[in-house]
A and B are shown apart, each in its own frame.
Chain A
Amino acid sequence: MKYRLSNIKELIKLIYETSPGYFIVLLFNTIVGSAGIYINLWVSKIVIDQLVSAHNVSMCFKLIILMVASGAILMLIDNLMKYIVNIKTPLVREKMKKLMAEKIMELPYYKLEDSSFLDLKERAMFAINEQGAIFNIIYNFAEMCKNTAIVISIVGIVLSFSKVFVVFLLIIILCMFGLYFKYINYQKEFYDNLLLLNRRESLYRDISYDKKYGMDFRLYETKKLLSERYGFFLDKCCELMDNFNLNKGNYLAFFNIIDNIIKIGAYGYIGIRRFTNLFGDTISVGSCVMYVNAVSNFSSRISKISENVVQIKQMLKYLEPYIEFMEFNDVKYEGIERLDEPIREIRFEKVYFKYPGAEDYALKDVSFVINQGDRIAIAGPNGSGKTTIIKLICKLYSPTVGEIYVNGKNILCYDTECYLDAISAVFQDFKIFNYSLAKNITFETEFDKKAEEITDKVGLNKLVEKLPNGMDTIIGKEYDKDGIELSGGEYQKIAIARAAYKTASLYIMDEPTSALDPITELEVFEDIKNIIESKTSIFVSHRMSSCRMCDNILVLDRGKIVERGTHDELIQKSGIYCKLYLAQSQMFSSKKA
């Protein structure tokens, strides 16, 4: 329960932050809404009583003017409320998405590769995007406030009507609540099931639009099966809804009957007083109309309040994964030490590393030192742990056992954000953003001399000449349809340029040329050499050839460093490196193998 309450608090805070105005209008809506009903009840009583005794028609007119005008004002405020809900709903939704985006970008990286976390994220988004949770909460919250105020404002009238009838009313309302709780539980179960089905259904829909799946199912005739399954989920959804709606209809119809019994019962009670002396004196015509209206309003508003509460509870439940996601806190120790100097030395000491959830160690007993100005290569067959070392150096993960020292201090002591200032990298699976070319390199709006030099060096200048808006051309079509799609090689060059632009003391190149054809690869390789010059750098490559230009080579095999040394030393050793190198170089020997 505490958890629920904190959810509501969080949400209200969020709505308040996105728009304080909402609450003012909410207040108005509540006050004027209840006042409107109150005025209506009294005015109709007075007017009728006046008309019956045919006294004061001008007063009647005045009162009617008051009633109609208050009704109109209420409508005006209602319009404003609708306007605000219309605006706030998308605003709050987008802000929540933004907060989530912010959260994701701040999370420790290792969380991102955790598949259960990914699933939580998907669930969190689903309620916000697909189930109209935000709208329902905002709307029902406003309605609930208004209905509560109305109930409170007319409770006096109802009490003055009759104590006996109030007891009758209370008993019926209590019965209603009992039923409602049963109904709530039923509804909860239903929505849990529905949510699951809806998620599956929407995944199928995503597949149908997807480019990569698009080719696949057109070729393999999977579309029949897809269509069958999609239909199956749709039917199941419908079946579930059918049951639910029948049940819900029964509940609601029952509530409707209770409403009617209360309303007509009120007439009956008035009749008893009129024709017998059982409960008291006769009630005037005006009061009769007023009481009946008050009573029926009273009971219908109470059932509306319970409906609002159910809706809000339901929607908050939908938002639970979101709150859970947002409340996730990294318990790991985050360093505070600032790295203000360049990286002079990186030292791995007996580092073991296991990916979360994995059984085997990805790195075993890895120790090495990188000094300022070194050019290190990490070589080895697929899956030997090359990229894992890079992830550890970038502090994306921390070692399971053993320590990594940077400039003599444990890597964990450093403030991650500050530490990463010292590193620049081209990752194996780098991403280029749908920004302008200039912004993709500098991540600033202006484009300085240094950036220009670098674009020349990596040979992007040829590309710039071809582009319609030069450096300001938007890359990629996803953001802007006038954007330009580039080839794999060109993307890779941009990635290299942006890594080179960043002022860092360590440069990491993880398979920087894997997607390139031989000629482009050679070109890019020369560019990288030009740019890195004598800075500290780490190269990872399948291609043994790139190791030759490095001072020191670490050869990994199944998570262990099996050999180290310069190219010539390793060749002389005739170990695994030599074997790999020869296998590859043999491919290039002009004779057919």
Chain B
Amino acid sequence: MKLNNSLVRIYKYINEYERRFLGVFLIFTIAEISYSFLNAIIPKMMVEALYFDKEETNFTEIFLFFLVSMCLSGYIKTITLNISNSKITGIKNHYAKKLFDKITNLKYQYIEDADFLNNNNSTFSVVEDYDGGIEGVCHILFSLPANFILCIFFTGILGKLNIIIVLALLIDWTIKLKIYKRFSNRMYSKKQDIGNSKRHMNYYYKISNDFNFGKDIRLFKISRNILNDYINEINKYIQTLKNLYKIQLNLENIDTVAGMVCDFIMVGILIFSVWKGTVSIPYFTMYITIINMLKTSLQNTNEDISKLLCELPYIDDFFKFIDESDLDETNSHDPIKLKNDVRIKFENVSFKYPNSDKLVLDHMNFEINTGEKIAIVGANGTGKSTIVKLLMKFYQPSDGTIKVNDTDINEIDTNCLRLLYSVIFQDICIYPFSIQENITCCEEDFDERKLEISLKNADLYEKIEQLQNGVKSKLIKSFHPEGIDLSGGEKQKLAIARAIYKDAPIAVFDEPTSALDAVAEEDLYKRLCCLLENKTVIFISHRLTSIRFCDKIILFKDGTVAESGTYTELMRLKGEFYKMFKAQGKYYEI
């Protein structure tokens, strides 16, 4: 059997950072083996002392010896086993953290790719499971050597009695290993099916649990429908599992029968030997105990090995993911000097999403100059939000180049590039941090005055003044019992404060206001423009009215720039913009 790579890596990590764990492991293995050994010989020694030896003193000695040695080795073995539990959790946590950092640095496009997350679901659960995954494997590896040594040791003792026993045991063991190997392969091959079933079940579970679906479900009475489909999926899932576990059951039954035959051979030989007089009664009790213990050890070893074989492919996947994942590259080139004057230029940019044939952007050309207040408008699905994702390098253009100050953004370090923007997204993200951390995005290293100004400008200062803990108040009540929840409007203000605090040269508003009416929206936009007077501001909107004051309006249509210019210019042009404007205004004609 070739040594598995992932196991070697886990070992190397332990060897480097968790040296003490290896010590614990060694002590445990020794204690476990001596404990089992003592258990195996105690009947023989006792029976011998009690019935086949006339000396009284001898018995007391043996009695005391076993009392002390068994209590001691039992104590050590139990303690070390329990200490290992938290050490193993520590090892798992190390990899959980590693995965977390990978995922947060992963190229964004994978996060939006449902397939990616689904395919990797079982990979991620390697660091989430308590029972399986890295934690499970470490537990197995912790106790496997002791069990294994005991198996060999006991087999050796029985072999001394009669070599046929060893043969029988070997055959039994080979059968077991074959069986478990087969099952683990089968299990892994069903990964896709099980993943699919889970995905379907989760969908039904999610929509019925998602309170946002509540109104529609009630009004259209879809609950019966959902439940029926849900039950069907559950049944399908269970059926897959049943088929799988049935194989396991059959294999295990074969294993049991083989074990029984083996037992017959062993016990038969043993009794025959006693009858013939080659084995004394004390030894007989020892052999019987060993046979029983060997059975348990074999059972444990087999279960451990089979579980190991089941889990290893997932762990291999996990390490593969850790090694090969496609991260946002950092420091690939010298960071460019960031100044407040930043020009952006789209040159013949085309784009389609991965796994899609539809061209979202089709040879797009436009330019945004320093300090300009720009509006990007257009119908739904014309690629307005895609622009934002391209600017931040969340996606790569399929064709053409995006330039910042005449440098291709592919040549700019991603993190540096992202420093250029503060974006207020459509959905506002609130982190389970304090208000200050939510705005400044760091724990201590922040500018108090700037924070205050941001809060004041975002019109959030008074609200926070009223709070008992001020900016240190924790957000998300379900996470921090002492925390607070913000209303929808306050969340938006928080997002604005965050954007102002970041003080990036370019601010982007990606339709942040669909809950506001047009008049309120225009007011907000105007206020924002005043606040960000010398910054470049990009508004993305499907409303044509609230962006009249912008320096330039860029109208998207079918993935290209249909028109651009000031409001007056576009209206005078009587083109697409004018048409849309008229459509919106149709009902206002008096």
- Shortest distance in angstroms between B488's beta carbon and chain A's nearest beta carbon? 10
The chain A residue with its CB closest to the CB of B519 is A583
Q: Which of B67, B259, B548 contacts A260 (CB 8 A)?
A: B67
A381 contacts which chain B residues (CB < 8 A)? 517, 520
A155 at the B interface (CB under 8 A): no
CA distance A487 to B384 in the complex (A): 13
The chain B residue with its CB closest to the CB of A590 is B571
- Shortest distance in angstroms between A190's beta carbon and chain B's nearest beta carbon? 12
Q: Which of B237, B421, B429 contacts A94 (CB 8 A)?
A: B237
Q: Report the count of interface residues on A (CB-CB < 8 A).
A: 163
B212 at the A interface (CB under 8 A): yes
Stretch binding the partner chain, chosen from A144-152, A246-254, A307-315, A362-370: A246-254
B267 contacts which chain A residues (CB < 8 A)? 64, 67-68
A519 touches B83 (CB 8 A): no
Known: A51-B284, A72-B257, A101-B230. A271 touches B63 (CB 8 A): yes
CA distance A151 to B30 in the complex (A): 32
A323 at the B interface (CB under 8 A): no
B378 contacts which chain A residues (CB < 8 A)? 517
The chain A residue with its CB closest to the CB of B56 is A275
Q: Which of B104, B203, B246, B579 contacts A223 (CB 8 A)?
A: B104
B479 contacts which chain A residues (CB < 8 A)? 200, 203
A90 contacts which chain B residues (CB < 8 A)? 237-238, 241
A213 contacts which chain B residues (CB < 8 A)? 429, 431
Known: A218-B418, A230-B97. A271 touches B50 (CB 8 A): yes
CA distance A212 to B51 in the complex (A): 78
A-B residue pair count with CB separations less than 8 angstroms: 420
Q: List 13 A-B contacts (CB under 8 A).
A: A105-B218, A218-B108, A234-B96, A250-B79, A271-B50, A288-B46, A288-B47, A420-B221, A427-B219, A479-B200, A543-B587, A588-B545, A592-B548
B contact residues, range? 35 or more
A209 touches B274 (CB 8 A): no
B104 touches A217 (CB 8 A): yes
Q: Which of A71, A267, A592 contacts B46 (CB 8 A)?
A: A267
Residues of B79-115 whose CB lies within 8 A of A: 79-83, 85-86, 89-90, 93, 96-97, 100-101, 103-105, 108, 111-112, 114-115
Q: A484-512, CB under 8 A of B: which get 1 and which 0? A: 00011100000000100010000000000
Q: A4-37, CB under 8 A of B: which get 1 and which 0? A: 0000000000000000000000000000000000
Known: A61-B268, A231-B97, A588-B585. A221 touches B441 (CB 8 A): yes
B117 contacts which chain A residues (CB < 8 A)? 209
- Shortest distance in angstroms between B546's beta carbon and chain A's nearest beta carbon? 8
A235 touches B225 (CB 8 A): no
**B252, B259, B579, B588 — most chain A CB neighbours (10 Å):** B588
Q: Which of B47, B256, B441, B567 contacts A76 (CB 8 A)?
A: B256
Residues of A64-110 whose CB lies within 8 A of B: 64-65, 67-69, 71-72, 75-76, 79-80, 82-83, 86-87, 90-91, 94-95, 97-98, 100-102, 104-106, 109
- Shortest distance in angstroms between B434's beta carbon and chain A's nearest beta carbon? 11
B152 at the A interface (CB under 8 A): no
The chain A residue with its CB closest to the CB of B478 is A119
A270 touches B50 (CB 8 A): yes
A275 touches B59 (CB 8 A): yes
Q: Given contacts A223-B104, A274-B51, could you give 19 more A-B pairs where the C-beta distance is less than 8 Å?
A: A51-B275, A60-B271, A83-B246, A86-B241, A105-B208, A105-B214, A217-B429, A218-B104, A252-B78, A431-B207, A431-B210, A488-B381, A489-B380, A515-B514, A518-B581, A521-B583, A544-B587, A585-B585, A588-B581
Residues of B12-54 whose CB lies within 8 A of A: 42-43, 46-47, 49-51
Stretch binding the partner chain, chosen from B68-76, B155-163, B529-537: B68-76
CA distance A68 to B269 in the complex (A): 14
Q: Which of A52, A72, A112 contacts B214 (CB 8 A)?
A: A112
